[in-house]
Amino acid sequence: MDKNDLLLCLGEQLVTYRRKTMLTQEEVAWRAGISARYLSDLERGNSDPSFSTLLTLLNVLEVSDDDFIKLRQLFDTPSR
């Protein structure tokens, strides 16, 4: 999996988590201290978040420890 694929996959996961919380992009962005435009870019896989921003988003989106571990395993999978 190359970096673009990983960013797309991360973006899809962020959308899934956001929809589970029933929050808008604007609400999530405000709570995370980022712009709605930046969140939109992240959800579309067009931006690479810092680790700090990602952790903040996952906290805002109430991502469980188990889901975080699953997400992390996706990124730890070696490229072929």
Domain that holds residue 21: 3-76
31 is written with which tokens? 């709570």
Domain CATH for 11: 1.10.260.40
- pLDDT digits (tens), the chain, 80 positions: 788 998 999 999 999 999 999 999 999 999 999 999 999 999 999 999 998 999 999 999 999 988 888 877 777 765 54
d(CA 60, CA 26): 12
What's the total number of domains in the chain?
Answer: 1
Instruction: Write out 33-50 in H/E/C secondary structure.
Output: CCCHHHHHHHHCCCCCCC
Nearest to 45 by CA among 77, 79, 9: 9
